[in-house]
Chains A and B, each alone.
Chain A
Amino acid sequence: MPESSMIGSRIRERRVMNGIRQSDLARRVGISPSYLNLIEHNRRRIGGKTLLDIADALEVEPALLSEGAEATLITGLREAAGAQAAQGVETDRTEEFAGRFPGWARLLVDLHGRAGALQRTVETLTDRLAHDPHLADSLHEVISTVTAIRSTSSILVETEALEPEWQNRFHRNIDEDSRRLAEGAEALVRYLEGAANTEVEIKSPQDELLAFLSANDFHFPALEVGAGPQVAKKIVEQAGALVSDAARRLALDALEQYRADAERLPLKPLLEEMRRDPAPERLAQLFGGDLPAVFRRIASLPESEVGLVGLVTCDASGALIHRRPFPRFAMPRDAGACALWPLFQVLGQPQVPVRVRLRQAGRGQETVLALAVAEQLAPATFERPALMRAHMLILPDGSDRSEGEVRDVGVSCRICPLRDCPARREPSIVADGF
């Protein structure tokens, strides 16, 4: 849905935020309350003088209503404010800030992202120093050699009347050890230099995977035509976005899954059936696949064919392991996601899919349709629990907005304005909700 069609939602959000009743606003701008209601539910187009009047009455720039500040930008700003736990940030005016100073806002979000990436780099490097077996071995070798040299040389210096045989022997040992020390030091330097170059910008492997998949729009035509495993390997080898070995392994796994899914649900018949009726359960039945495969398949189709699609996958620990972003449904990058998402609900009831309309707090009145299902990757044994994975497909909500139940959820607690939420695990920095 284009941004301009969301004007009504933004008007409503702003009005509620300002504490003005619908009828009062209607009277002030000289239109009927029922007409304003239609506008607020995006059922009537609005522009020109009415928009200017409403903006005036709500004391906002008309552009803020007509263009809206980019939703991702606002989420980014909230994340930044949340991560810094900053005092005195006017979080209640985030949208206004993003609307009036989009350039500054983007810069802030970029810097926040960069700070996060650098922090991960530091953590990775610290981790490497603490746990790198090669580094530990090299250092041990150097210290052992230094110990031998120190002990031997002080014998030579301190022992009076040292017999020539011993003298020769210790001289030889020092010579031997100093050569070993030189080699060890050189190897160490070479290793440290090499290590710095191999993974220039250390992002998490998941970040690299997401960048790689996004750059391909989550769609790989080469894997759609009964391709062999070599094709997936080749794509991974040629991908510039995949820097670390770990990311390449993740990408290879993802593409292998893609290939298997594409085999079970071939592109052409799938698209034909989706045009007829895109209900995932019908597609699953028709192609003899399961719901997770259908979800993954839908989320691997080009936007030009299926419109907006989002997908998020987690394991039993709740860690988000795969995602295709959805423009109007934010997914946290590093914080834990909202516990109210149906994604986590289905982990407790595998084989029972859940369909629910979601409204993400702080994002106006927009709703999305979420379909969630869990699958078992490996059965439980007496040694370990079953390996579970849950998927949540996110689609535009096509149903009548005024009908049916809607679940209010958040992104993650730090930036969530929902009040009295029983699922809250830490205080929010967003002032007092809307």
Chain B
Amino acid sequence: MGKRVLLIEDEPNIIEAVSFILSRDGWDVKTHSNGHDAIDAVRARAPDLVILDVMLPGKSGFDILQEIRADGELATMPVLMLTARGQVKDRELAEQSGVSRYMTKPFSNADVLEVVRSMVAT
């Protein structure tokens, strides 16, 4: 049975591409594309892994990450952050907020697959 991944991203063509490569790799992919109620989606889907964009409409990825970590049941959820901003400050902020892995755009599909696989080792 495929592992479940929740992709929180607002760029339709990135959603499509990432969903495609992960599905082909055997993942069960669900997507969500706004920041407001992202935390509700995480709770409802209870995925094995969350891929989270930083720049989302309504709420930033950093805030959503903090909400995830503040929730007792989700505290250990693997979270991969995808963002166009690769600056040191953002990386530090993500690490302080409890990110598991961090990738900057543009990324290669192979990198995404490799990182995602390593985050949910069986």
Contact = CB atoms under 8 A, between A and B. Distances in A.
B84 A155 contact: no
Contacts of B24: 159
Contacts, number: 57
Contact of B13 (A139, A148, A166): A148
Interface string B95-106: 000000000011
Interface centre among A144, A150, A152, A177 (most CB of B within 10 A): A144
A419 interface: no
A155 B84 CA distance: 20
B92 interface: no
Contacts of A139: 84
A85 B84 CA distance: 42
Q: Is chain B's interface secondary structure helix, strand, loop, or mixed overall?
A: helix
B109 A158 contact: yes
Given A144-B14, A151-B108, 16 more contacts: A140-B84, A143-B84, A143-B105, A144-B84, A147-B11, A151-B14, A151-B18, A151-B109, A154-B109, A155-B20, A155-B109, A166-B20, A169-B16, A170-B17, A170-B20, A173-B17
Contacts of B109: 151, 154-155, 158
Contacts of B85: 140
Nearest to B104: A143
A144 B17 contact: no
B21 interface: yes
B55 interface: yes
Interface of B: 11, 13-14, 16-18, 20-21, 24, 55, 84-85, 105-110, 112
Nearest to B10: A144
B106 A173 contact: no
A433 B108 CA distance: 67
9 contacts: A139-B84, A147-B106, A148-B14, A151-B106, A154-B110, A155-B17, A155-B109, A176-B13, A177-B13
Interface in A125-173: 139-140, 143-144, 146-148, 150-152, 154-155, 158-159, 166, 169-170, 173
B55 A151 contact: no
Contacts of A166: 20
Residue of A147, A150, A152, A155 most packed against chain B (CB within 10 A): A147
Interface string A165-198: 0100110010011000000000000000000000
Interface string A206-244: 000000000000000000000000000000000000000
Contacts of B18: 151
Nearest to A150: B106
A154 B11 CA distance: 17
A126 to B, nearest CB: 14
Nearest to B107: A147
Contacts of B108: 150-151, 154
A155 B17 CA distance: 8
B17 A152 contact: yes
B43 to A, nearest CB: 27
